[in-house]
Structure 1
Amino acid sequence: MNQIIREDMERITEDPFFQQLAGSRILITGATGLIGSLTVKACLRYNETHDTKISVIGMIRNRKKAEEVFEAALTNPHLELVEGDLRKPLEVPDDIDYILHTASVTTSKLFVDQPVETIETSYRGTKHVLELAKEKQCKGMVYLSSMEMYGRPDPSLERVTEEDLGYIDVLNVRSSYSEGKRISECLCAAYADEYKVPVRIARLAQTFGAGVLKSDNRVYAQFARSAVKGEDIVLHTEGKSNGNYCYTTDVIRALALLLCKGENGQAYNICNEETTTTIADMAKMVAEEFGGGKSKVVFDIPEDARTFGYAPDVKMHLDAGKLRGLGWKPEFGLREMYARLIAGMEQ
């Protein structure tokens, strides 16, 4: 674990809401993804400095990838890695106190190339996790949704709250992701109401920070790698769409809070409201601040908009007031997010 990630893990474990998970058994789906893997590592870091341990069950699809991500922790007695397909019913022995459901298809191109699998993973996976939470009578569960579930909200809105749902073209195959998130949220609300499953919904802004995997090819990772190499940052759209962002540690602190607190069946935006900017402006900032005078922003827009699977342009400024009302606030702005991301890459 490099120094930047270690600092981030220590910041998480010092959070009072994270410490409420002491002595619990937590199932984390999507354990090799960015949020899942860092949450697992935060739990294990917590165990190094506290007597009351957290036991983690990390649900994975690929054993080889998991062994790379958790290389230093494979023999840790408080970590159990379980291979499974979330599209099938889950069997996990013994009690589970909390569930963090992070597993999802996250690659934009796959939303277009494999829309059926994208929807299946979202709906069936969430249903099977909710059934497990119901069976185990968990104390709390958090489902990771996305700001993409808002679609295209009213552009006249100054801030987008949890009630401001916008338009989604259901016949556009890329909507497999955003519609999958919507039906999964509806399923969470249904289980909370009918079966009293204590599930809360986290609507995440774009999340990144130190610990981004080498295979991550989302725009923030592309921007950072280009700047580090002194290469041009290439945009395949006009970059007019608003991006909303949040640093990894701020997100994980929010998720720990929601596991222990919040209203069942309700959704909460997780974002740093000060980071909202257009993709083009963010690219320009990264080039100027981290490109060493060698990087600039260039546009290479394909004729076929489906080529990269990017979402349509949207004007959206997320409001995190509901989550802040529970006692959370973000600590990292956009420039510092990139500084820590790049420092982590370099280490």
Structure 2
Amino acid sequence: MNNKLYTQELIQEIKKLKNIDKLANTTILIAGATGMIGSCIVDIIMHLNTNAHLNCTVIALGRNEIRAQKRFKDYWNDKNFFFEKNDINHKIEIKGKLDYIIHAASNTHPLAYAKYPVETINTNVIGTNNLLNLAVSHHIQRFVFLSSVEIYGENRGDTEKFDENYLGYLNCNTLRAGYPEGKRVGESLCQAYNAQYNLDVVIPRLARSFGPTMLMSDSKAMSQFIKNGLESKNIVLKSKGEQEYSYIYSIDAAGAVLFCLLNGKTGEAYNVAGNNCTVKLKNAANIIADICNTKVIFELSDMIEAKGYSKATKAILDVSKLNNIGYVSNIDLNTALKETIDILSNKENESENNF
């Protein structure tokens, strides 16, 4: 939070939010709080507490207290911030008032899918069910489940972009299917709790994400490109790079999640992607190489990595539904990548971001 560029980005994102006063004097639990999106959501709310007297209590739920203490050191002792050490795959009990839950906990990168496939599924199914039970027991105002572009599977050439009603192809009988199928079941659980318990739910479906809050352990292609660029290493392409994907800048992703919390329609899913952040993988690699003054090389992936890679070659999200309720991410890819690298390369904050 001492990084001026990062703080400026948060302020710009906050300006996009409508009905932020709904969070005033409430308590919000964020599962997966130390992750790329969760940590940025925490930063936005805590910034509003400090600068706009929002008085929103944040309960940051995660498994690693040391990581959390390092990431949230700026407000670890703040009266509006509490860390709850817990694994959502086990029963969760929170004392006191609880108004909102944002479920951002999940393995979200290929190496984790391949090494921890059971945990990946459980977090999106058992963990989601545990959080939904918690939501019902506290009679919360709204539950937000972070889903993914991955639920659409493979584009078989029948559409240019995935809208929220697209029914994609997934081969469920593979290790790699654990993540998208888990997200699909997580969405179904949300709808079941909405129908049976009248629980207010909303579902942002996020595009592939990158940004200054990324974990250095993230094995997604874009994250690896950025990490290599920061270390002045060659950008390594482990395919021909013809895959074409929608992306979302992590600060915009956090803002869009909060926007859905505050303004989305009950039971609806919303695609979340940058309007100007669709790119082929090889072009993204070249952009980062140019920014970091390095070069792109080709290298075969190892067997473990390959097991976790998506087979989708084209996954572009139609974001008109989200745009129509008032949220637009207009940052272009080049600018978002440059700002990500600028923030992460700030030596004063390097240890903060390398959590």
Range into which the TM-score falls when normalised by the shorter chain: over 0.9
Distance 1:22 1:303, change over 3 A: closer
1:159 aligned to which of 158, 161, 164: 161
CA drift of 1:125 comes to 0.6
CA drift of 1:297 comes to 1.6
Contact 1:111 1:175 in 2 (8 A): no
Contact 2:99 2:140 in 1 (8 A): yes
CA drift of 1:104 comes to 0.5
Contact 1:17 1:256 in 2 (8 A): no
1:133-152 matched pairs, under 5 angstroms: 133-152=135-154
**In 2, Cα distance between the equivalents of 1:257 and 1:214?**
27
What amino acid does structure 1 have at the position aligned with 2:337? Answer: Y
Equivalent position of 2:259 in the other structure: 257
- Please tell me whether residue 184 in structure 1 is matched to residue 186 in structure 2: yes
Contact 2:32 2:106 in 1 (8 A): yes
Equivalent position of 2:96 in the other structure: 94
What amino acid does structure 1 have at the position aligned with 2:315? Answer: M
**In 1, Cα distance between the equivalents of 2:322 and 2:130?**
27
Distance 1:12 1:112, change over 3 A: same
1:27 alignment partner, SS class: strand
Contact 2:36 2:213 in 1 (8 A): yes
1:30-69 matched pairs, under 5 angstroms: 30-69=32-71
**In 1, Cα distance between the equivalents of 2:129 and 2:115?**
24
**In 2, Cα distance between the equivalents of 1:107 and 1:232?**
21
How many residue pairs get matched? 344
TM-score, normalised with respect to structure 2: 0.92
2:223 alignment partner, SS class: helix
Q: Mean alpha-carbon deviation: is it higher for 145-154 or for 307-316? A: 307-316
Distance 1:190 1:287, change over 3 A: same
Q: Structure 2: state its 5+ residue gaps.
A: 347-355
What amino acid does structure 2 have at the position aligned with 1:309? Answer: G
Contact 2:232 2:292 in 1 (8 A): yes
CA drift of 1:54 comes to 0.9
Equivalent position of 1:8 in the other structure: 9
Equivalent position of 2:128 in the other structure: 126
1:192-247 Cα shifts (integer Å, max 9, x gaps)? 12211111111001122223233334322221233344432111122222221111
1:79-90 matched pairs, under 5 angstroms: 79-90=81-92
The 4+ residue runs of structure 1 with deviation greater than 3 A are: 17-20, 213-217, 302-308
**In 2, Cα distance between the equivalents of 1:320 and 1:241?**
19
Q: Structure 1: state its 5+ residue gaps.
A: none
**In 1, Cα distance between the equivalents of 2:121 and 2:230?**
36
**In 1, Cα distance between the equivalents of 2:288 and 2:305?**
26
CA drift of 1:305 comes to 7.6
- Please tell me whether residue 342 in structure 1 is matched to residue 319 in structure 2: no
What amino acid does structure 1 have at the position aligned with 2:179? Answer: Y
Contact 2:115 2:304 in 1 (8 A): no
CA drift of 1:97 comes to 1.1
2:225 aligned to which of 206, 223, 227: 223
Contact 2:34 2:71 in 1 (8 A): yes
Contact 1:155 1:315 in 2 (8 A): no
Q: CA RMSD in A?
A: 1.7
Contact 1:238 1:301 in 2 (8 A): no
**In 1, Cα distance between the equivalents of 2:90 and 2:229?**
42
- Please tell me whether residue 318 in structure 1 is matched to residue 317 in structure 2: yes
**Percent of aligned pairs with the same amino acid:** 31
1:16 alignment partner, SS class: coil
Equivalent position of 1:331 in the other structure: 330
Distance 1:40 1:151, change over 3 A: same
What amino acid does structure 2 have at the position aligned with 1:75? Answer: N
What amino acid does structure 1 have at the position aligned with 2:25? Answer: G
TM-score, normalised with respect to structure 1: 0.94
**In 1, Cα distance between the equivalents of 2:215 and 2:314?**
29
1:100 alignment partner, SS class: strand
Equivalent position of 1:70 in the other structure: 72
**In 1, Cα distance between the equivalents of 2:21 and 2:339?**
24
Contact 2:155 2:169 in 1 (8 A): yes
1:246-325 matched pairs, under 5 angstroms: 246-288=248-290, 290-292=291-293, 295-302=294-301, 304=303, 307=306, 309-325=308-324
CA drift of 1:269 comes to 0.3
Distance 1:242 1:305, change over 3 A: farther
